[in-house]
Structure 1
Amino acid sequence: MNPTILERAVASARAFVSEFHPEAAAAALAGSIPAGRGTDTSDLDVVIYYADRTANYAETLRYDGWLVESFVYGPEGIEEWFAKEAGLRRPVALDMWATGLPLMGEDAANQLRDAARAILDAGPTPLDPHQGDDLRYGLTAAIDDLRGNTDPGEALAVMADVFVRSGELLLLANNSWLGTGKWLVRRLGSVDRPEATDLVGWARSAERSGDELCRVASSVLESTGGALQEGHVRGRRDAHAKGGS
Protein backbone atom coordinates (compact mmCIF):
# COMPACT_ATOMS: atom_id res chain seq x y z
CA MET A 1 0.00 0.00 0.00
CA ASN A 2 1.23 3.48 -0.81
CA PRO A 3 2.05 4.95 2.64
CA THR A 4 0.55 8.30 1.64
CA ILE A 5 -2.90 6.65 1.64
CA LEU A 6 -2.58 5.90 5.35
CA GLU A 7 -1.24 9.36 6.08
CA ARG A 8 -4.09 11.03 4.21
CA ALA A 9 -6.67 8.73 5.80
CA VAL A 10 -5.47 9.43 9.34
CA ALA A 11 -5.42 13.19 8.76
CA SER A 12 -8.94 13.16 7.28
CA ALA A 13 -10.29 10.84 9.99
CA ARG A 14 -8.87 13.04 12.76
CA ALA A 15 -10.38 16.12 11.16
CA PHE A 16 -13.73 14.33 10.81
CA VAL A 17 -13.78 13.36 14.49
CA SER A 18 -12.75 16.85 15.58
CA GLU A 19 -15.56 18.40 13.56
CA PHE A 20 -18.40 15.96 14.21
CA HIS A 21 -17.48 14.32 17.52
CA PRO A 22 -15.26 16.73 19.45
CA GLU A 23 -16.60 15.59 22.84
CA ALA A 24 -16.04 11.86 22.27
CA ALA A 25 -13.92 10.00 24.78
CA ALA A 26 -12.19 7.89 22.14
CA ALA A 27 -12.04 7.28 18.41
CA ALA A 28 -10.07 4.98 16.13
CA LEU A 29 -9.58 4.41 12.42
CA ALA A 30 -10.31 0.78 11.55
CA GLY A 31 -10.89 -1.33 8.45
CA SER A 32 -8.74 -1.95 5.40
CA ILE A 33 -6.50 1.11 5.51
CA PRO A 34 -4.79 0.55 8.90
CA ALA A 35 -4.53 -3.16 7.99
CA GLY A 36 -2.43 -2.27 4.95
CA ARG A 37 -5.10 -3.14 2.37
CA GLY A 38 -6.22 0.40 1.61
CA THR A 39 -6.60 1.86 -1.85
CA ASP A 40 -7.68 5.21 -3.25
CA THR A 41 -11.25 3.89 -3.35
CA SER A 42 -11.32 2.70 0.27
CA ASP A 43 -13.72 4.28 2.71
CA LEU A 44 -12.86 5.35 6.25
CA ASP A 45 -14.22 3.14 9.04
CA VAL A 46 -14.20 5.24 12.19
CA VAL A 47 -15.30 3.91 15.58
CA ILE A 48 -16.29 6.50 18.17
CA TYR A 49 -16.97 6.13 21.88
CA TYR A 50 -18.80 8.47 24.26
CA ALA A 51 -18.29 7.67 27.94
CA ASP A 52 -21.04 9.99 29.17
CA ARG A 53 -24.02 9.49 26.87
CA THR A 54 -26.28 6.95 25.23
CA ALA A 55 -25.25 6.20 21.66
CA ASN A 56 -25.63 3.19 19.42
CA TYR A 57 -25.76 3.98 15.71
CA ALA A 58 -23.88 3.98 12.42
CA GLU A 59 -23.78 6.89 9.98
CA THR A 60 -22.41 7.31 6.47
CA LEU A 61 -21.16 10.73 5.34
CA ARG A 62 -18.94 12.18 2.63
CA TYR A 63 -16.00 14.09 4.10
CA ASP A 64 -12.79 15.48 2.62
CA GLY A 65 -13.15 13.29 -0.46
CA TRP A 66 -13.72 10.09 1.54
CA LEU A 67 -16.83 8.07 2.24
CA VAL A 68 -16.82 7.86 6.03
CA GLU A 69 -18.60 5.04 7.88
CA SER A 70 -18.81 6.07 11.52
CA PHE A 71 -19.89 3.68 14.26
CA VAL A 72 -20.85 5.51 17.43
CA TYR A 73 -21.25 3.90 20.85
CA GLY A 74 -21.95 4.76 24.45
CA PRO A 75 -21.13 2.45 27.38
CA GLU A 76 -24.32 0.38 27.05
CA GLY A 77 -24.16 0.30 23.26
CA ILE A 78 -20.61 -0.99 23.12
CA GLU A 79 -21.28 -3.65 25.73
CA GLU A 80 -24.35 -4.73 23.78
CA TRP A 81 -22.45 -5.05 20.50
CA PHE A 82 -19.45 -6.83 22.02
CA ALA A 83 -21.78 -9.38 23.66
CA LYS A 84 -23.96 -9.76 20.56
CA GLU A 85 -21.02 -10.33 18.22
CA ALA A 86 -19.44 -12.83 20.61
CA GLY A 87 -22.74 -14.72 20.73
CA LEU A 88 -23.05 -14.75 16.94
CA ARG A 89 -19.36 -15.67 16.60
CA ARG A 90 -19.10 -12.86 14.03
CA PRO A 91 -16.96 -9.93 15.25
CA VAL A 92 -17.23 -6.54 13.57
CA ALA A 93 -17.11 -3.85 16.27
CA LEU A 94 -14.79 -6.17 18.20
CA ASP A 95 -12.40 -6.30 15.26
CA MET A 96 -12.55 -2.57 14.66
CA TRP A 97 -11.71 -1.68 18.25
CA ALA A 98 -9.11 -4.45 18.54
CA THR A 99 -7.16 -3.38 15.46
CA GLY A 100 -8.06 0.28 15.03
CA LEU A 101 -5.53 3.10 15.03
CA PRO A 102 -6.35 5.58 17.85
CA LEU A 103 -7.33 9.03 16.64
CA MET A 104 -8.21 10.67 19.97
CA GLY A 105 -8.56 9.67 23.62
CA GLU A 106 -5.71 7.19 23.40
CA ASP A 107 -6.11 5.86 26.96
CA ALA A 108 -9.83 5.13 26.49
CA ALA A 109 -9.20 3.72 23.00
CA ASN A 110 -6.54 1.40 24.38
CA GLN A 111 -8.90 0.19 27.11
CA LEU A 112 -11.51 -0.65 24.50
CA ARG A 113 -8.83 -2.28 22.35
CA ASP A 114 -7.76 -4.47 25.27
CA ALA A 115 -11.36 -5.45 26.09
CA ALA A 116 -12.03 -6.40 22.47
CA ARG A 117 -8.79 -8.32 22.13
CA ALA A 118 -9.52 -10.31 25.29
CA ILE A 119 -12.80 -11.51 23.76
CA LEU A 120 -11.22 -12.27 20.40
CA ASP A 121 -8.25 -14.07 21.93
CA ALA A 122 -10.61 -16.31 23.92
CA GLY A 123 -12.09 -17.51 20.64
CA PRO A 124 -15.73 -18.17 19.72
CA THR A 125 -18.00 -20.38 21.78
CA PRO A 126 -17.44 -23.96 20.58
CA LEU A 127 -20.17 -25.57 18.53
CA ASP A 128 -22.37 -27.96 20.45
CA PRO A 129 -23.00 -31.29 18.66
CA HIS A 130 -26.47 -30.30 17.43
CA GLN A 131 -25.21 -27.02 15.95
CA GLY A 132 -22.45 -28.86 14.16
CA ASP A 133 -24.92 -31.40 12.80
CA ASP A 134 -27.19 -28.63 11.51
CA LEU A 135 -24.27 -27.04 9.67
CA ARG A 136 -23.20 -30.36 8.16
CA TYR A 137 -26.78 -31.11 7.11
CA GLY A 138 -27.14 -27.71 5.41
CA LEU A 139 -23.85 -28.08 3.56
CA THR A 140 -24.69 -31.63 2.47
CA ALA A 141 -28.00 -30.44 1.00
CA ALA A 142 -26.33 -27.48 -0.73
CA ILE A 143 -23.72 -29.74 -2.34
CA ASP A 144 -26.48 -31.99 -3.64
CA ASP A 145 -28.26 -28.94 -5.08
CA LEU A 146 -25.09 -27.88 -6.87
CA ARG A 147 -24.33 -31.32 -8.28
CA GLY A 148 -27.80 -31.67 -9.74
CA ASN A 149 -28.23 -28.14 -11.06
CA THR A 150 -28.17 -27.44 -14.80
CA ASP A 151 -29.31 -23.80 -14.79
CA PRO A 152 -26.29 -21.43 -14.95
CA GLY A 153 -28.04 -18.67 -13.00
CA GLU A 154 -29.18 -20.97 -10.24
CA ALA A 155 -25.79 -22.68 -10.16
CA LEU A 156 -24.10 -19.34 -9.48
CA ALA A 157 -26.36 -18.72 -6.49
CA VAL A 158 -25.90 -22.26 -5.18
CA MET A 159 -22.12 -22.05 -5.54
CA ALA A 160 -22.13 -18.93 -3.37
CA ASP A 161 -24.24 -20.79 -0.81
CA VAL A 162 -21.93 -23.82 -0.82
CA PHE A 163 -18.86 -21.60 -0.45
CA VAL A 164 -20.30 -19.70 2.52
CA ARG A 165 -21.57 -22.84 4.24
CA SER A 166 -18.25 -24.62 3.72
CA GLY A 167 -16.27 -21.67 5.00
CA GLU A 168 -18.40 -21.13 8.08
CA LEU A 169 -18.42 -24.82 9.03
CA LEU A 170 -14.66 -25.04 8.62
CA LEU A 171 -14.02 -21.87 10.62
CA LEU A 172 -16.22 -22.88 13.53
CA ALA A 173 -14.89 -26.44 13.57
CA ASN A 174 -11.41 -24.95 13.93
CA ASN A 175 -12.32 -22.48 16.69
CA SER A 176 -12.09 -19.47 14.37
CA TRP A 177 -14.33 -16.44 14.19
CA LEU A 178 -16.78 -16.00 11.31
CA GLY A 179 -16.62 -13.29 8.71
CA THR A 180 -19.04 -11.84 6.16
CA GLY A 181 -18.23 -11.12 2.51
CA LYS A 182 -14.51 -10.49 1.98
CA TRP A 183 -13.92 -11.16 5.66
CA LEU A 184 -14.94 -14.79 5.17
CA VAL A 185 -12.07 -15.20 2.69
CA ARG A 186 -9.67 -13.35 5.00
CA ARG A 187 -10.59 -15.51 7.98
CA LEU A 188 -10.20 -18.69 5.95
CA GLY A 189 -6.76 -17.46 4.93
CA SER A 190 -5.68 -17.56 8.57
CA VAL A 191 -6.76 -21.19 9.14
CA ASP A 192 -3.92 -23.69 8.82
CA ARG A 193 -5.93 -26.43 7.14
CA PRO A 194 -5.64 -27.77 3.57
CA GLU A 195 -9.43 -27.41 3.16
CA ALA A 196 -9.16 -23.71 3.96
CA THR A 197 -6.33 -23.30 1.45
CA ASP A 198 -8.42 -25.08 -1.19
CA LEU A 199 -11.49 -22.94 -0.48
CA VAL A 200 -9.52 -19.71 -0.79
CA GLY A 201 -7.83 -21.06 -3.90
CA TRP A 202 -11.20 -21.82 -5.47
CA ALA A 203 -12.49 -18.35 -4.64
CA ARG A 204 -9.46 -16.74 -6.29
CA SER A 205 -9.55 -18.99 -9.35
CA ALA A 206 -10.65 -17.53 -12.68
CA GLU A 207 -12.75 -20.60 -13.44
CA ARG A 208 -14.50 -21.39 -10.13
CA SER A 209 -16.00 -24.61 -11.41
CA GLY A 210 -18.91 -26.19 -9.60
CA ASP A 211 -17.28 -29.63 -9.74
CA GLU A 212 -14.15 -28.35 -7.99
CA LEU A 213 -16.20 -26.57 -5.34
CA CYS A 214 -18.16 -29.78 -4.70
CA ARG A 215 -14.87 -31.60 -4.21
CA VAL A 216 -13.53 -29.01 -1.78
CA ALA A 217 -16.82 -28.73 0.10
CA SER A 218 -16.99 -32.50 0.42
CA SER A 219 -13.50 -32.50 1.93
CA VAL A 220 -14.71 -29.93 4.46
CA LEU A 221 -17.55 -32.27 5.37
CA GLU A 222 -15.18 -35.22 5.76
CA SER A 223 -12.93 -33.20 8.07
CA THR A 224 -15.87 -32.22 10.28
CA GLY A 225 -17.74 -35.50 10.65
CA GLY A 226 -18.98 -36.36 7.17
CA ALA A 227 -22.10 -35.77 5.10
CA LEU A 228 -25.38 -35.82 7.00
CA GLN A 229 -28.93 -36.25 5.69
CA GLU A 230 -31.02 -39.28 6.67
CA GLY A 231 -32.07 -39.33 10.29
CA HIS A 232 -31.11 -35.74 11.09
CA VAL A 233 -33.74 -33.83 13.08
CA ARG A 234 -33.82 -30.03 13.04
CA GLY A 235 -35.57 -28.17 15.83
CA ARG A 236 -37.32 -29.81 18.77
CA ARG A 237 -39.45 -32.90 18.35
CA ASP A 238 -42.24 -34.02 20.67
CA ALA A 239 -40.81 -36.84 22.78
CA HIS A 240 -44.04 -38.81 22.25
CA ALA A 241 -43.88 -38.58 18.47
CA LYS A 242 -42.84 -41.60 16.45
CA GLY A 243 -39.13 -42.02 16.74
CA GLY A 244 -38.91 -39.84 19.88
CA SER A 245 -37.16 -40.94 23.03
Structure 2
Amino acid sequence: MERKSALESAKLFVDQYFPNCRAAILGGSVARKEATSTSDLDIVIIDDTIDHSYRESMVAFGWPIEVFVHHATSYPSFFAMDAAIGRPTLPRIVAEGIAIRDHEIVSVMQVEAKEIIAKGPADWSAETIKVQRYTLTDFVDDFIGATAREEAVCIALSLATTLQEFYLRINNRWIGESKWIYRELKRYDQRFADRYINAIEYFYKKGEKQPLIDLVDQVLEPHGGRLFEGFSLGKE
Protein backbone atom coordinates (compact mmCIF):
# COMPACT_ATOMS: atom_id res chain seq x y z
CA MET A 1 0.00 0.00 0.00
CA GLU A 2 1.41 3.36 -1.02
CA ARG A 3 1.91 5.75 1.85
CA LYS A 4 0.18 9.10 1.89
CA SER A 5 2.00 12.40 1.41
CA ALA A 6 4.15 13.81 4.20
CA LEU A 7 1.64 16.54 5.02
CA GLU A 8 -1.35 14.24 5.02
CA SER A 9 0.48 11.61 7.08
CA ALA A 10 1.59 14.25 9.59
CA LYS A 11 -2.01 15.43 10.03
CA LEU A 12 -3.20 11.85 10.55
CA PHE A 13 -0.41 11.28 13.06
CA VAL A 14 -1.31 14.36 15.10
CA ASP A 15 -5.02 13.51 15.06
CA GLN A 16 -4.36 9.97 16.29
CA TYR A 17 -1.52 10.46 18.78
CA PHE A 18 -2.07 14.03 20.01
CA PRO A 19 -5.77 14.76 19.52
CA ASN A 20 -5.83 17.36 22.30
CA CYS A 21 -2.71 19.29 21.34
CA ARG A 22 -2.90 23.03 20.92
CA ALA A 23 -0.59 23.25 17.91
CA ALA A 24 1.57 21.09 15.65
CA ILE A 25 4.31 22.01 13.18
CA LEU A 26 5.80 19.84 10.45
CA GLY A 27 9.42 20.81 9.79
CA GLY A 28 12.63 19.33 8.44
CA SER A 29 13.46 18.32 4.90
CA VAL A 30 9.86 17.67 3.86
CA ALA A 31 8.88 21.22 4.82
CA ARG A 32 11.88 22.58 2.89
CA LYS A 33 10.95 20.39 -0.10
CA GLU A 34 14.33 18.66 0.12
CA ALA A 35 13.11 15.21 1.19
CA THR A 36 14.91 12.06 0.09
CA SER A 37 13.82 8.43 0.15
CA THR A 38 15.00 8.10 3.77
CA SER A 39 13.66 11.41 5.12
CA ASP A 40 11.56 11.35 8.25
CA LEU A 41 8.84 13.65 9.50
CA ASP A 42 9.97 16.14 12.14
CA ILE A 43 6.88 17.20 14.08
CA VAL A 44 6.77 19.69 16.95
CA ILE A 45 3.78 19.36 19.26
CA ILE A 46 2.50 21.94 21.73
CA ASP A 47 0.31 20.15 24.25
CA ASP A 48 -0.40 21.75 27.60
CA THR A 49 -1.72 18.49 29.07
CA ILE A 50 1.74 16.87 29.24
CA ASP A 51 3.81 16.81 32.43
CA HIS A 52 7.20 17.27 30.80
CA SER A 53 8.80 17.80 27.41
CA TYR A 54 10.16 14.81 25.52
CA ARG A 55 11.36 13.58 22.14
CA GLU A 56 10.36 10.26 20.62
CA SER A 57 11.05 8.29 17.44
CA MET A 58 8.46 6.00 15.89
CA VAL A 59 7.09 4.69 12.61
CA ALA A 60 3.50 5.51 11.71
CA PHE A 61 1.50 5.77 8.48
CA GLY A 62 4.50 4.43 6.57
CA TRP A 63 6.83 7.22 7.74
CA PRO A 64 9.66 7.37 10.28
CA ILE A 65 8.66 10.17 12.63
CA GLU A 66 10.64 12.30 15.11
CA VAL A 67 8.24 14.04 17.45
CA PHE A 68 9.27 16.88 19.79
CA VAL A 69 6.60 17.33 22.44
CA HIS A 70 6.41 20.53 24.47
CA HIS A 71 3.98 22.70 26.35
CA ALA A 72 3.65 26.41 25.79
CA THR A 73 6.18 27.36 28.47
CA SER A 74 8.84 24.71 27.86
CA TYR A 75 9.95 25.25 24.27
CA PRO A 76 11.80 28.58 24.94
CA SER A 77 14.31 26.83 27.21
CA PHE A 78 14.99 24.26 24.47
CA PHE A 79 15.43 27.07 21.95
CA ALA A 80 17.97 28.58 24.34
CA MET A 81 19.80 25.28 24.90
CA ASP A 82 20.16 24.71 21.16
CA ALA A 83 21.43 28.26 20.70
CA ALA A 84 23.96 27.78 23.50
CA ILE A 85 25.60 24.79 21.81
CA GLY A 86 25.60 26.58 18.45
CA ARG A 87 23.28 24.11 16.70
CA PRO A 88 19.70 25.41 16.38
CA THR A 89 17.90 22.13 15.74
CA LEU A 90 14.52 22.98 17.26
CA PRO A 91 14.47 26.65 16.19
CA ARG A 92 15.19 25.63 12.60
CA ILE A 93 12.45 23.00 12.54
CA VAL A 94 9.98 25.57 13.83
CA ALA A 95 11.18 28.47 11.67
CA GLU A 96 10.97 26.45 8.45
CA GLY A 97 7.91 24.47 9.45
CA ILE A 98 4.34 24.21 8.23
CA ALA A 99 1.48 24.48 10.71
CA ILE A 100 -0.54 21.27 10.59
CA ARG A 101 -2.65 22.28 13.57
CA ASP A 102 -2.67 26.03 13.64
CA HIS A 103 -2.92 28.25 16.69
CA GLU A 104 -1.66 31.74 17.43
CA ILE A 105 1.26 30.23 19.32
CA VAL A 106 2.67 28.89 16.04
CA SER A 107 3.31 32.38 14.66
CA VAL A 108 4.80 33.44 18.01
CA MET A 109 7.17 30.46 18.00
CA GLN A 110 8.19 31.04 14.41
CA VAL A 111 9.00 34.69 15.03
CA GLU A 112 11.12 33.73 18.05
CA ALA A 113 12.85 30.92 16.12
CA LYS A 114 13.67 33.16 13.15
CA GLU A 115 15.08 35.83 15.46
CA ILE A 116 17.33 33.27 17.14
CA ILE A 117 18.59 31.95 13.81
CA ALA A 118 19.17 35.42 12.39
CA LYS A 119 21.10 36.51 15.48
CA GLY A 120 23.50 33.59 15.32
CA PRO A 121 25.25 31.92 18.27
CA ALA A 122 26.96 33.81 21.05
CA ASP A 123 30.54 34.92 20.46
CA TRP A 124 33.18 32.56 21.71
CA SER A 125 35.14 33.80 24.69
CA ALA A 126 38.91 34.31 24.46
CA GLU A 127 39.31 31.26 26.70
CA THR A 128 37.20 29.09 24.39
CA ILE A 129 39.17 30.23 21.34
CA LYS A 130 42.40 29.34 23.14
CA VAL A 131 41.14 25.86 24.03
CA GLN A 132 39.95 25.24 20.49
CA ARG A 133 43.28 26.41 19.01
CA TYR A 134 45.06 23.98 21.32
CA THR A 135 42.68 21.16 20.39
CA LEU A 136 43.20 21.71 16.66
CA THR A 137 46.97 21.88 17.21
CA ASP A 138 46.90 18.58 19.06
CA PHE A 139 44.88 16.92 16.29
CA VAL A 140 47.18 18.32 13.57
CA ASP A 141 50.28 17.05 15.39
CA ASP A 142 48.73 13.60 15.78
CA PHE A 143 47.66 13.66 12.12
CA ILE A 144 51.14 14.57 10.91
CA GLY A 145 52.79 11.95 13.08
CA ALA A 146 50.38 9.10 12.38
CA THR A 147 52.06 6.26 10.49
CA ALA A 148 49.18 3.78 10.58
CA ARG A 149 46.52 4.69 8.04
CA GLU A 150 43.78 3.37 10.31
CA GLU A 151 44.79 5.84 13.01
CA ALA A 152 45.19 8.71 10.53
CA VAL A 153 41.67 8.08 9.23
CA CYS A 154 40.25 8.36 12.74
CA ILE A 155 42.29 11.48 13.52
CA ALA A 156 41.10 13.08 10.28
CA LEU A 157 37.50 12.61 11.39
CA SER A 158 38.14 14.49 14.64
CA LEU A 159 40.26 17.13 12.93
CA ALA A 160 37.69 17.88 10.23
CA THR A 161 34.80 18.06 12.70
CA THR A 162 36.67 20.42 15.03
CA LEU A 163 37.86 22.54 12.11
CA GLN A 164 34.36 23.23 10.80
CA GLU A 165 33.19 24.09 14.30
CA PHE A 166 36.06 26.54 14.79
CA TYR A 167 35.61 28.18 11.40
CA LEU A 168 31.86 28.65 11.77
CA ARG A 169 31.78 29.67 15.43
CA ILE A 170 34.67 32.11 15.11
CA ASN A 171 32.58 33.80 12.42
CA ASN A 172 29.42 33.79 14.56
CA ARG A 173 27.73 31.15 12.45
CA TRP A 174 25.76 28.05 13.38
CA ILE A 175 27.50 24.69 13.28
CA GLY A 176 26.20 21.41 11.95
CA GLU A 177 26.63 17.70 12.37
CA SER A 178 26.42 14.92 9.81
CA LYS A 179 25.02 16.32 6.54
CA TRP A 180 24.54 19.70 8.19
CA ILE A 181 28.31 20.22 8.42
CA TYR A 182 28.49 20.84 4.69
CA ARG A 183 25.16 22.66 4.61
CA GLU A 184 26.22 25.19 7.23
CA LEU A 185 29.64 25.68 5.64
CA LYS A 186 28.03 26.16 2.23
CA ARG A 187 25.45 28.57 3.64
CA TYR A 188 28.23 30.76 5.00
CA ASP A 189 31.10 30.35 2.53
CA GLN A 190 30.72 28.18 -0.59
CA ARG A 191 34.41 28.48 -1.50
CA PHE A 192 35.56 27.33 1.93
CA ALA A 193 33.01 24.51 1.94
CA ASP A 194 34.40 23.20 -1.33
CA ARG A 195 38.01 23.46 -0.11
CA TYR A 196 37.04 21.65 3.09
CA ILE A 197 35.46 18.74 1.22
CA ASN A 198 38.29 18.58 -1.31
CA ALA A 199 40.94 18.48 1.41
CA ILE A 200 39.20 15.61 3.17
CA GLU A 201 38.66 13.70 -0.07
CA TYR A 202 42.27 14.25 -1.10
CA PHE A 203 43.42 12.56 2.09
CA TYR A 204 40.98 9.64 1.92
CA LYS A 205 41.57 8.99 -1.79
CA LYS A 206 45.30 9.69 -2.09
CA GLY A 207 46.62 9.60 1.46
CA GLU A 208 47.85 13.20 1.12
CA LYS A 209 47.61 15.05 4.44
CA GLN A 210 48.94 18.47 3.45
CA PRO A 211 45.77 20.06 2.01
CA LEU A 212 43.88 19.47 5.27
CA ILE A 213 46.83 20.63 7.37
CA ASP A 214 47.15 23.79 5.25
CA LEU A 215 43.46 24.52 5.63
CA VAL A 216 43.70 24.25 9.42
CA ASP A 217 46.69 26.59 9.47
CA GLN A 218 44.92 29.13 7.28
CA VAL A 219 41.88 29.12 9.57
CA LEU A 220 44.01 29.46 12.71
CA GLU A 221 46.44 32.09 11.40
CA PRO A 222 44.23 35.18 12.00
CA HIS A 223 43.68 34.01 15.58
CA GLY A 224 47.27 33.36 16.58
CA GLY A 225 47.99 30.12 14.73
CA ARG A 226 48.63 26.79 16.36
CA LEU A 227 48.94 26.78 20.13
CA PHE A 228 50.94 24.44 22.32
CA GLU A 229 53.75 26.18 24.21
CA GLY A 230 52.36 28.35 26.99
CA PHE A 231 48.90 26.80 26.97
CA SER A 232 47.47 26.15 30.42
CA LEU A 233 44.11 25.69 32.10
CA GLY A 234 43.31 26.32 35.74
CA LYS A 235 46.79 27.51 36.67
CA GLU A 236 45.72 31.02 37.66
* TM-score, L = length of structure 1: 0.86
Which residue of the partner structure matches residue 233 of structure 1?
232
Deviates more, 1:153-162 or 1:46-55: 46-55
Q: Among the aligned pairs, what percent are the same residue?
A: 29
Over residues 104-142 of structure 1, what are the superposed CA-to-partner deviations in whole Å (9 max), with x where a residue is unaligned?
Answer: 125322211111111121111111111111111101110
Asked if the contact 2:25/2:44 (under 8 Å) is kept, the reply is yes
Aligned-partner Cα distance in 2 for 1:193–1:19: 43
Deviation at 1:224, TM superposition (A): 3.5
**Superposed displacement of residue 156, structure 1:** 1.4
CA RMSD of aligned residues (A): 2.1
8 Å contact 1:199–1:216 — kept in the other structure? yes
Partner of 1:211: 210
Q: How many angstroms apart in 1 are the aligned matches of 2:17 and 2:182?
A: 34
Map 1:103-142 onto structure 2 (within 5 A): 103-142=100-139
Contact 2:169 2:175 in 1 (8 A): yes
Matched ranges for 1:9-28 at <5 A: 9-28=6-25
Residues 170, 196 of structure 1: 8 Å contact kept: no
Distance 1:81 1:191 in 2: 24
- State how far apart, in whole Å, the 1-side matches of 2:209 and 2:46 are: 45
**C-alpha distance in 2, partners of 1:192/1:96?**
22
Corresponding residue for residue 146 of structure 1: 143
* Consecutive unaligned residues in structure 1, runs of 5 or more: 240-245
Determine helix, strand or coil for the equivalent of 2:188. coil
Establish whether residue 161 from structure 1 lines up as the match of residue 140 from structure 2: no
Count of paired positions = 232
Q: Counterpart amino acid of 1:125?
A: A
The aligned counterpart of 1:176 is: 173
Structure 1 residue matching 2:37: 3-state secondary structure: coil
CA contact (8 A) 1:24 1:50 kept: yes
Secondary structure of 1:111's match? helix
Amino acid at match of 2:131: D
Q: Which shows bigger deviation, 27-36 or 161-170? A: 27-36
Instruction: Note if contact 1:195-1:216 (Cα within 8 Å) is conserved in structure 2.
Output: no
- Counterpart position of 1:243: none
Helix, strand or coil for the counterpart of 1:67? strand
The amino acid that maps onto 2:224 is: G
**CA spacing shift, 1:47–1:210, aligned 2, 3 Å:** farther
Letter in 2 for 1:217: V
- Shift of residue 64, structure 1, vs aligned partner: 1.3
Q: One-letter code of the match for 2:196?
A: L
Say whether the 8 Å CA contact 2:182–2:193 is kept in structure 1: no
After TM superposition, the runs of 4+ consecutive aligned structure 1 residues lying more than 6 A away are none
- 1:97–1:61 Cα change, 3 Å: same
The Cα shift of 1:233 comes to 1.4
Specify the alignment match of 1:242 in structure 2: none
Cα deviation 1:59-116 (Å, max 9, x = unaligned): 1111111111111111343122112112222211111111112111253222111111
Worse-superposed segment, 61-70 or 205-214: 205-214
Is the Cα contact below 8 Å between 1:97 and 1:113 reproduced in 2?
yes
